Amino acid sequence: MLCLLFFLVTAVGAELCQPDAENAFKVRLSIRTALGDKAYAWDTNEEYLFKAMVAFSMRKVPNRETTEISHVLLCNVTQRVSFWFVVTDPSKNHTLPAVEIQSAIRMNRNRINSAFFLNDQTLEFLKIPSTLAPPTDPTMPIWMIIFSVIFCIVIVAVMLLIFSGIRQRRRKSKGPSEVDDTEDKCENMITIENGIPCDPLDTKGGHINDVFMTEDERLTPL
Amino acid sequence: MAWAGGAEPHGDGRGDKRPAWDNKGQYLLSCLGFAVGLGNIWRFPYLCQTHGGGAFLIPYLIALVLEGIPVFYIELAIGQCLRRGSIGVWTAVSPYLGLGCLTVSFLVSLYYNTVLSWVLWYLLNSFQDPLPWSSCPLDINRTGAFEAECQASSTVSYFWYRQTLNITADISDNGSIQWRLLACLAASWAVVYLCVIRGIETTGKAIYFTALFPYLVLTIFLIRGLTLPGAVRGLIYLFTPNPGRGVQTLRNPRVWLDAATQIFFSLSLAFGGHIAFASYNPPRNNCEKDAVTVALVNSLTSLYASIAVFSVLGFKAANDHGNLLRLLNAFDLPDQSISRDDYAAVLAHLNATQPESVARLPLEVCQLEDFLDKSASGTGLAFVVFTEAVLHMPGAPGWAVLFFGMLFTLGLSSMFGNLEGIITPLLDLGVLRRSVPKEVLTGLVCLLCFLSATCFALQSGSYWLQVFDSYAAPLNLIIFAFFEVVGIAYVYGMPRFSDDIACMTGRRPGLYWRVTWKVVSPLLLLTIFVAYIAVLAWTPLSYRAWDPQYVGPLGATGSHFGPALAFPWCHTWQDGCPKLQEGGAS
């Protein structure tokens, strides 16, 4: 009797959960794409976790707090990994409407994803669109901030160069007259070096040493 | 003596001592920076690959030896010898030649800096994670669907054509000024002015960074690119001649024409910029060695860049796995069980066992070669293809910043040469009084260029740029170069020129130089000119347009050729392999 009941239950279950059945959803996982070397194998324990997560999501829906893990049926598990699932009501005769399951899964998508270390792209519920993040509209786009910074730096640098150029030109126009003054000063300094007027051609104040005779007188005329 | 042509040995038209380079390194880097520009990155790799890789290098090298280096040497020698800009130098030959060079430099500066402003825009937008061209924006009503135009083409194309250019469908439809582009244009002209403000005094300092930074970034990209998967396939594709063509490539006149024009524009000849740079040299300087060095380094840079670019493109092509995913999902095969190499075998097997299911799948024939064939040149390479490649690399914003920073500095160093080609002749002519500082002249030139270039910030600005780039500059440059060579060889006189060179470098030019100057280069330039005219006459003038309403043969919206002068339309295929939509059922 018990065996018959068991068969009946599984038979009913098999009917309820079929590809393209009413209120059935296909799930597709891409574990290797998401985790690479750290990918885990998909076995019955992982399926149990999945059923638990779905049941958890359904329990959060008002009127469905009594959903059990056994109410979630999986079928057609392939190597891809993909499978179909349905959620039945406590009587296990009918499946819960797709709309309820959809909203429940969408509410808890994040929890389900993180339970498997996957994201919306690698754990796909076909026909359940993922909720997109709200568009971030920054008050000031980033490019404008960087643009203003660069533009200000450039303008400041141009101003600096222009002003330094003006200053250089002013110094140069003052420059030649200053150079002349110093040259005069140099001449004055030469002439009054050591307090003695150094004018080699000027014999004022000096005596001619008679020992050093001129060349002409040394050589006796022929 | 050597200073023939009636020019003073020292000083310029203003009477003060002529400015000079701080050291030879600045001069060489300036010439190199002027020669190495955006074309080395996005024109040469495309040509190299289109004409069959390794086979293209032969006409390229021949053109370099017979045409590029001789004309380049003439420019450097005449500038160094006569110590004047382009107008002063060519007065002996024809006053209009110098004026023509100046005008062409002016026109090219206008649209070249516009391209730089686009690069600047992308650079500014690269400082965020995720990059703005990685996803489609939501549509106006925020109903959860993405913008239709974006979904129909691709996120990068949408960002380029809509969010950057906001392009109209037709060149006659001007649209409104895009203030973002105008702001970027103002910023790039401000940067150019900052660097050119005192002539070579300031560009000489800036060139150390702008000329060397691109090489650093290219090396980084090369190393990174070679370590990416699929890079080797890209390189193999670059260098192997197309199957069935091989040696026949050399018999195709189009290849020779492309090689000759590429070498010509790559070295930035006939702009007057090299003449201006050389005019600031000391009179006794070995300009022969300079010319050969700079020309060779320019060509090697092109080769280096094409290796870096194609290794990244190979990686990008290997990333397109839309078909693989479709097969895996349809036949419930284990995740990542089919690698790219197995794809063909697995598809054949499945086709044999379950042909009806396979036929129902929307598989596109997406081969590496097809993908690499399309839009891998010009702005398409930088703003559409490469930006998408960068998206897939880990640490994408950093790579984007590096890439666009490299493009910006490359273009900037070329702009220095363009502007010197304008400013130096004006200074020599003495258009402004001696009391007016040089900063005012450069400021006026930059302001005038900026105001003239505002037309490129219109919505149809990109089309005008294409028209300018394709038709305005190239013909004029070839004519000017032809007259330059003929003028030196026949009007100025080879004996006189040989004397000048002997004085500057210490020995007279050898047989190779004399033969190329007198015979080979003028003939080559004349041939290119005639071929250009012929090509223009035979093909209808056209430009690539982006029309959101146009639906291509593969159901993807995209660009197509539009008439430049109301000639019949010719549609082309674009954006062939649509990617798998993200986030849900395919």
Q: What is the pLDDT of residues B433-447, one digit of tens each?
A: 888 888 999 999 999
**Confidence at residue B441, expressed as pLDDT on a 0 to 100 scale:** 92
Tell whether residue B35 is among the known ligand binding residues: yes
**B333/A121 CB distance under 8 A:** no
More confident: B400 or B466: B400
* B127 in A contact zone (CB under 8 Å): yes
Chain A contacts in chain B segment 157-186 (CB below 8 A): 183-184, 186
Tell whether residue B302 is among the known ligand binding residues: no
Same-domain pairing of A20 and A105: yes
**B193/A162 CB distance under 8 A:** no
**Mean per-residue pLDDT, B73-80:** 93
Q: Is the pLDDT of residue B210 over 90?
A: yes
* A153 in B contact zone (CB under 8 Å): no
- For residue A176, count other CB atoms closer than 10 A to its CB: 8
Best mean pLDDT range from A104-113, B221-230, B292-301, B459-468 = B292-301
| Percent of residues, chain B, with pLDDT higher than 90 | 40
Best mean pLDDT range from B21-30, B47-56, B237-246 = B21-30
More confident: B375 or B331: B331
Same-domain pairing of A93 and A153: no
**Nearest-CA residue of chain A relative to B137?**
A135
Domain stop point among A69, A102, A125: A125
* B129 in A contact zone (CB under 8 Å): no
Of B138, B202, B332, the CB nearest to A80: B332
Structure confidence at residue B565 as a pLDDT band (50, 70, 90):
very low
Residue type, B245: R
Q: Is the pLDDT of residue B56 over 90?
A: no
**Nearest-CA residue of chain A relative to B193?**
A158
Residue A204 inside a domain? The answer is no
Q: Which residues of B123-141 are buried (b: 16+ CB within 10 A; e: fewer)?
A: bbbbeeeebbbbbbbbeee
Residue A26 inside a domain? The answer is yes
- State the Cα–Cα distance between residues A183 and B121, nearest whole angstrom: 57
* B339 in A contact zone (CB under 8 Å): no
Same-domain pairing of A141 and A53: no
Same-domain pairing of A42 and A113: yes
Which site among B335, B408, B447 would you substitute to test the A interface, given the most A Cβ atoms closer than 10 Å to its Cβ?
Answer: B335
* H-state helical runs in B319-430: 322-331, 343-353, 355-360, 368-373, 378-380, 387-391, 396-429
Smallest CA–CA separation between A43 and chain B, in Å?
A: 14
Domain stop point among A144, A166, A188: A166
Average pLDDT over all residues of chain B: 82
Q: Report how far Cα B134 is from the mean position of its chain's Cα atoms.
A: 25
Of B125, B190, B334, the CB nearest to A155: B190
More confident: B263 or B557: B263
- State the Cα–Cα distance between residues A17 and A128, nearest whole angstrom: 17
Same-domain pairing of A93 and A148: no
Residue A156 inside a domain? The answer is yes
* A147 in B contact zone (CB under 8 Å): yes
For B496, half-sphere exposure in the C-beta direction (CA atoms, 13 angstrom radius) is: 14
Structure confidence at residue B143 as a pLDDT band (50, 70, 90):
low
**A154/B187 CB distance under 8 A:** yes
Structure tokens belonging to residue A210? 């008679």
**Mean per-residue pLDDT, B470-481:** 84
* Residue A154, domain extent: 136-166
Same-domain pairing of A62 and A144: no
More confident: A188 or B131: B131
Asked if B504 and B279 count as a contact pair (C-beta separation under 8 A), the reply is no
* B439 in A contact zone (CB under 8 Å): yes
Smallest CA–CA separation between A45 and chain B, in Å?
A: 19
Sheet holding A123-125, edge to edge: A72-75, A82-87, A25-29, A123-125
**B144/A132 CB distance under 8 A:** yes
What ipTM describes this predicted complex?
A: 0.79
Residue A215 inside a domain? The answer is no
Structure confidence at residue B9 as a pLDDT band (50, 70, 90):
very low
Q: What is the pLDDT of residues B522-555, one digit of tens each?
A: 999 999 889 888 888 888 777 777 777 765 444 3
More confident: B386 or A196: B386
Q: Is the pLDDT of residue B556 over 60?
A: no
Same-domain pairing of A44 and A103: yes
Same-domain pairing of A37 and A57: yes
- State the Cα–Cα distance between residues A83 and A152, nearest whole angstrom: 59
Q: Which residues pair with A85 in a beta bridge?
A: A25, A74
**Confidence at residue B66, expressed as pLDDT on a 0 to 100 scale:** 93
* A102 in B contact zone (CB under 8 Å): no
Q: What are phi and psi of B205, to 5 degrees?
A: -80, -40
Using a CB-CB cut-off of 8 Å, the residues of chain B touching A165 are 197-198, 437, 439
Q: Is the pLDDT of residue B17 over 60?
A: yes
Q: What is the pLDDT of residues B213-241, one digit of tens each?
A: 999 999 999 999 888 888 888 888 787 76
Tell whether residue B429 is among the known ligand binding residues: no
Smallest CA–CA separation between A15 and chain B, in Å?
A: 22
* B142 in A contact zone (CB under 8 Å): yes
**B585/A158 CB distance under 8 A:** no
Residue type, B162: R
Using a CB-CB cut-off of 8 Å, the residues of chain A touching B138 are 132, 135
Q: What are phi and psi of A84, to 5 degrees?
A: -110, 150
Residue pairs spanning A and B at CB distance below 8 A:
86
**Nearest-CA residue of chain A relative to B585?**
A126
Same-domain pairing of A47 and A146: no
Which site among A142, A147, A152, A160 would you substitute to test the B interface, given the most B Cβ atoms closer than 10 Å to its Cβ?
Answer: A147
Same-domain pairing of A106 and A150: no
Of A79, A120, A129, the CB nearest to B333: A79
More confident: B387 or B364: B387
Residue A205 inside a domain? The answer is no
Using a CB-CB cut-off of 8 Å, the residues of chain B touching A46 are none
- State the Cα–Cα distance between residues B158 and B165, nearest whole angstrom: 10
Using a CB-CB cut-off of 8 Å, the residues of chain A touching B142 are 135
More confident: B360 or B569: B360
Domain stop point among A147, A166, A185: A166
**Confidence at residue B197, expressed as pLDDT on a 0 to 100 scale:** 93
**Confidence at residue A179, expressed as pLDDT on a 0 to 100 scale:** 52
**B194/A158 CB distance under 8 A:** yes
Q: Tell me the whole-structure pTM to 2 decimals.
A: 0.79
Q: What is the pLDDT of residues B315-354, one digit of tens each?
A: 877 766 566 777 778 777 877 777 766 777 777 888 888 8
Q: Which residues pair with B218 in a beta bridge?
A: none
Structure confidence at residue B393 as a pLDDT band (50, 70, 90):
confident
Residue A150 inside a domain? The answer is yes
Which site among A43, A105, A132, A154 would you substitute to test the B interface, given the most B Cβ atoms closer than 10 Å to its Cβ?
Answer: A154
Residue A186 inside a domain? The answer is no
**Confidence at residue B447, expressed as pLDDT on a 0 to 100 scale:** 96
Asked if B428 and B87 count as a contact pair (C-beta separation under 8 A), the reply is yes
**Mean per-residue pLDDT, B105-112:** 92
Asked if A48 and A66 count as a contact pair (C-beta separation under 8 A), the reply is no
**Confidence at residue B67, expressed as pLDDT on a 0 to 100 scale:** 92
Same-domain pairing of A69 and A148: no
**A169/B437 CB distance under 8 A:** yes
pLDDT along chain A (222 residues), means of 10: 63 72 88 85 91 92 88 87 88 86 90 89 84 72 91 95 91 70 44 50 57 61 62
Q: Is the pLDDT of residue B576 over 50?
A: no
More confident: B581 or B372: B372
Give, in degrees to the nearest 5, the angle at Cα A203 between A201 and A204: 125
Give, in degrees to the nearest 5, the angle at Cα B532 between B465 and B36: 55
- State the Cα–Cα distance between residues B398 and B160, nearest whole angstrom: 19
| Percent of residues, chain B, with pLDDT higher than 70 | 84
Tell whether residue B337 is among the known ligand binding residues: no
Closest CA to B410 of B35, B37, B13: B37
**Confidence at residue A151, expressed as pLDDT on a 0 to 100 scale:** 94
- State the Cα–Cα distance between residues B100 and B107, nearest whole angstrom: 11
Residue A160 inside a domain? The answer is yes
**Confidence at residue B345, expressed as pLDDT on a 0 to 100 scale:** 78
Structure confidence at residue B13 as a pLDDT band (50, 70, 90):
very low
Structure confidence at residue B144 as a pLDDT band (50, 70, 90):
low
Give, in degrees to the nearest 5, the angle at Cα A15 between A11 and A21: 165
**A147/B187 CB distance under 8 A:** yes
Dump the DSSP string for chain A.
-HHHHHHHHHHHHHHHS-TT-TT-EEEEE-HHHHHGGGPPP--HHHHHHHHHHHHHHHHTSTT-TT--GGGEEEE---SSSEEEEEEB-TTSSSBPPHHHHHHHHHHTHHHHHHHTT--TTTEEETT-PPPPPPP---SS-HHHHHHHHHHHHHHHHHHHHHHHHHHHHHHHHHHHHHHHHHHHHHHHHHHTGGGS---TT--TT----TTS--HHHHSPP-
The total number of structural domains that make up chain A? 2
Q: Is the pLDDT of residue B584 over 70?
A: no
Using a CB-CB cut-off of 8 Å, the residues of chain B touching A120 are 583
Tell whether residue B266 is among the known ligand binding residues: yes
Using a CB-CB cut-off of 8 Å, the residues of chain B touching A33 are 335-336
Same-domain pairing of A161 and A80: no
* A26 in B contact zone (CB under 8 Å): no
